Amino acid sequence: MKEPTRAARRAHQQRMKNRAMRTMRLWALRPNAPVDPRDLGVNASTHCRPCACWMCQAKGREVPQPRERAFDHPELPDCG
């Protein structure tokens, strides 16, 4: 099978970064939220599915898992 050209690889990488940026802004619940370039690259390369290791989940250690949160936990977004 023929290898993709440099232009095709770059187009694919840009498409994945755009998708990751849209997903990250949806997670933030703000359409114009600033996005950290490092987090954008990580999410683009993992297709917005980070693993569960301690290095990938280091920022969320203070927030309990969803099943362990109370209904009125302050970290939950306000839907009303």
Contact 18, 25 (CB under 8 A): no
Q: Tokens 């599915």 — which residue?
A: 49
> What's the confidence (pLDDT) of residue 12?
92
Q: What is the CA radius of gyration of the chain?
A: 16
Query: At 63, phi and psi to the nearest 5?
Result: -95, 125
> What's the confidence (pLDDT) of residue 6?
93
Mean pLDDT by 10 residues, the chain (80 residues): 87 93 85 86 82 61 61 58
> What's the confidence (pLDDT) of residue 14?
94
Burial degree of 77 (CB within 10 A; 0-12, 13-18, 19+): exposed
Of the candidates 7, 38, 2, the one whose C-alpha atom is nearest the C-alpha of residue 20 is 38
